[in-house]
Structure 1
């Protein structure tokens, strides 16, 4: 049991010397892990970064691959496309004097992603993994009225859940960006209900904010601004929303043409990191066994769709009183 003045997430990571912080859902998810990763680095820990990638990794040279389905991305890694969040982050890290390698997992099913995680954990002798979701899709059980886009998030959860315990003694989940998945049909009233259930199970580790007045908060804002400038044709809506919340913006704050026609609700809850035990979260997912033996991401999608077709009654959206 921790004291009120300590943070349960960082208390769980206190004895870890080598930590992997990984984006669960692809795209720019690894950016949502930067506040935690940078804080761990500033504490003197060896921190490695990874991300389930949406980029065309098959175009990478052969010497970029650490193992099948996991590539080593540096500031100078060659890939002929502008959308490459892992390289963009590596370039930002290099500009600020941080270790500038970001590992990229191929967008695949549970079995190859698990093998890729295993190779990475063995390569760096990792003590702890922090899996990060930009948003709240990762907290959906499967019987909710709307799941958002859970395929990649739960592939990552299932992959890590099945890794032998000795390879990653501590495995945690952080969700940053409460509210950003509303446009994907996620009911955040149900998100709160799920968090309460995880708390009752002992798997919830509390929440903390990412203030812009902290070193890590300021660096996160800088990293997101750098990414938006270097991926102007496809900036991250999720991290742009989180960054706006960290800046203290509120309401319908439009920061990219990608949200034109949509009404945003930027608010302080988006800057909260909700932390959980990964295994406890995995146990509450109702379809995790259905995706266990998948090799392709489309197999994950099909398995989730088949599960959803069998649900007699979905949990309806839960309104947050106002």
Structure 2
């Protein structure tokens, strides 16, 4: 067994998030296009002499990430991943998990899911398990809809609950400005407001479909076409719960972003630039407008969970 293994996994942006009506099973059918970006969660797994699974969390001060909002008990997704992996293979080994956060907390960018994906790979390696990515996929899907994507990264289509993945053809590199807020948005609350809007007559597709316009734009590698094709059915609900996000979107448009949207369930706002330099210029404009607590830039697509030592 390796005594200590470090793995990093990426955050994500939903380039499209099409949401169907709430089903009898309590879930919404989804059609989504994920893109992984080069903001990473890093998880170090160190084998323990006992059967305890413990977690600690830190973040670079420069990122302005509030680690106090990250649980360090059994509700932490990385801890859940370690327990799930151990249970699936009848093991009783322990591990210390140390997370270095690089993805905004509660920002709709799947930082917790990235922690889970990284923990699965790190624990499997540290515990000396000969486990394939396909086998990890099954465990990942049981932990949350975004976890399988964090394992694989790049650009992918997600159907069903979002965990039925297939790779998406994409050319080139895309450069994003990400405006974050200290106060997160609860994903269940955003979906709940979406359901209320549907009950009040907002249109909804019973069987949401992937945008062919977006898929063609990704294959072309043209950021102008991708920006014009971005969509998020949860955006109206997120803006209703957090109206100040509209000011962030306005600031990004003033900086001539090619496309602007709330990422996932929010509150992170993602703006697509023409180039890396343009993304930096958008970030500077949003920062000057003083409408976000932190502004980052990132590029995608990025690889999935990767062992780094």
Q: Provide the TM-score with structure 2 as the length reference.
A: 0.29
Structure with more relative contact order (C-alpha pairs < 8 Å, separation 6 or more): 2
Q: Which has the higher helix share?
A: 1
